[in-house]
Amino acid sequence: MTFKKASGKIFGVGFTEKESKALDAEINRQIAEKCREFEDELNGLILWQLHVQLGFGKKRLKRFYDNFSKVTESFMGQYKDGYFSHGKDCIHKLGEIGINIEDWKKGE
């Protein structure tokens, strides 16, 4: 690691390629850890809304949960280049059937 200085003050840090890769790996590990921390809350929210809005009972919720858990495990394993490629694939597939999440976020 090298420090970049001007007028006696540090304004930046330069990393070797090895240090940069190690830093990126640690950042990705921490992102994945935080995602797992919120997984139960997100699953709870999704399952509750399926129950309240669509009437899913215990058996159907369990079937959804089991299948969705497999997808999310795969999804977490596909974190590459700063984004979840599987999520982008799903957004693209939704677009193919006429669903644009960006439009929905705008209220359209």
Note the pLDDT tens digit of each residue in 16-26.
889 889 988 99
Count of structural domains within the chain: 2
Q: What is the pTM of this model?
A: 0.56
SS3 assignment, position 98: coil
> Domain for residue 5, yes or no?
no
Structural domain of residue 104, as residue ranges?
81-108
Q: How far is CA 20 from CA 36, 49, 84, 85, in A?
A: 24, 42, 20, 22
> Domain for residue 1, yes or no?
no
**Residues 50, 47: Cα–Cα separation, whole Å:** 5
> Domain for residue 7, yes or no?
no
**Residues 100, 97: Cα–Cα separation, whole Å:** 9
Q: Are residues 96 and 53 in the same domain?
A: no
pLDDT grade, residue 82 (50/70/90)? Answer: very low
> Domain for residue 4, yes or no?
no
